[in-house]
Homo-oligomer: A and B are copies of this chain.
Amino acid sequence: MSRKTIEKKSRTEQSIQRRRFLKGATGAVAATAAASSFPAPAISQSLLQWRLVTTWPKNFPGLGTGANLLGDLITKGSGGRLSVKVYGAGEIVPAFEALDAVSSGTVEMGHGAPYYWKGKIAAAQFLASVPFGMTAQEVNAWYQWGNGQKLADKIYKQMGAKFFPSGNTGVQMGGWFNKKMNSLDDYKGLKMRIPGLGGEVVKAAGGNVVNLPGGEIAPALQSGALDATEWVGPYNDLAFGLYKSAKYYYFPGWHEPATVLDNFINLKAWEKLPGDLKSVVQTANAAVNQMVLSEFTARNNAALQTLIGKHKVNLLKFPDNVLNGLGQLTGEVMNDIASKDSLSREVMDDYLTFRQGALAWSSRAEGTYLPARLLPFKYASPSKKG
């Protein structure tokens, strides 16, 4: 449905409601409905128009398009009773002011990632992605069937917002490097762009951690201002052309195994929403949460094949001794944060408890299934075309 359609429809429906009210045509029935304790039927709801600001550039692949999808599903699913218009970073407010704009009620909704708000509440970073932490499937289980949603609501409430998980990147890549990473010592003095908890770990390994917005990464790598950078995965990294300025593309993304995106909603606007529209928003977020992950999974496949086949990118796996050292430092960094902040401690404790159970299961499920699939048996192949 186009913007114009919605606006026109809105005017039409408002006319209907005004006219009905003025003429009193439905007076008796309307009074019955109002006197009951049932939720107001759709017919009596006024149309709402909300604005959604994002931390992503407009239509940014996977992330900005995820926010577009959220707006679209809410608008369509509510039959236009709640229409959401999406704005890219900088259109109403700069990227990292999105949450402030929502808290203050300047706009009703935002879309980003929880670790962007760690400057406001340190515990928020445990909601986004934890180095050596849970995968997308596991973290979704924590949000939906563990205490994840409850803890996230507690954190976002302090920032004047309602929280929903609203997309996931899946396991990211480890990043682009201009030298081989053979031991933990190779991080000493390394100028690397890496945000969040992963950045703290690289700092602990002696790295010189730089934070740059997406658009400045490629030139900095080109000029030598950066020795290394991580971004997302094949899909986004190919789009940025990072392969042109780095020798090695390392995996796996130990620092961001499942980055959760967030939908944050002005708390008062959320609380005033009728029950059926609350359900539309909640369901749309659960759908987007999966559809964004599906997009990354599908497009990372395709982009990886382009990076390898066309651009001859040199893919390398981090050696186990490097991964083991980074894992050890992650534990120290996390304990250090938790020792200074009781809310971080609370979230981290719950996350770690759920992670222990998740690992016990995944080591029997995905953990042994994925290698079984790679055994040397001759499997069926697509038939030759033509």
Contacts and interface: CB of A to CB of B under 8 A. Distances in A.
Contacts of A9: 38, 41
Interface string A1-38: 10001001100110110011001011001101100101
| Contact residues of A: prevailing secondary structure | helix
B363 A374 contact: yes
A370 B373 contact: no
A375 interface: yes
A334 B380 contact: yes
Nearest to A325: B377
A223 interface: no
Interface string A341-364: 000010011101110111111111
A12 B25 contact: no
Interface string A317-337: 110100111011011001100
Nearest to A328: B377
Nearest to A334: B380
A323 B372 contact: yes
Contacts of A13: 41, 43
A366 B345 CA distance: 27
A15 B31 CA distance: 13
A137 B170 contact: yes
A5 B38 contact: yes
Contacts of A349: 382-383
A251 interface: yes
Given A38-B9, A77-B77, A293 B372 contact: no
Chain A residues touching B, range? 35 or more
B287 A137 contact: no
A290 interface: yes
A17 B103 CA distance: 40
Nearest to A351: B382
A132 B279 CA distance: 37
A135 B354 CA distance: 22
Interface in A72-129: 73, 76-81
Given A42-B80, A145-B297, 13 more contacts: A5-B38, A5-B39, A9-B38, A77-B279, A144-B294, A145-B298, A252-B368, A304-B357, A317-B364, A323-B372, A324-B375, A330-B379, A363-B374
Which 8 interchain pairs have the tightest Cβ spacing?
A327-B377, A145-B298, A79-B276, A286-B287, A301-B357, A42-B79, A25-B25, A141-B297
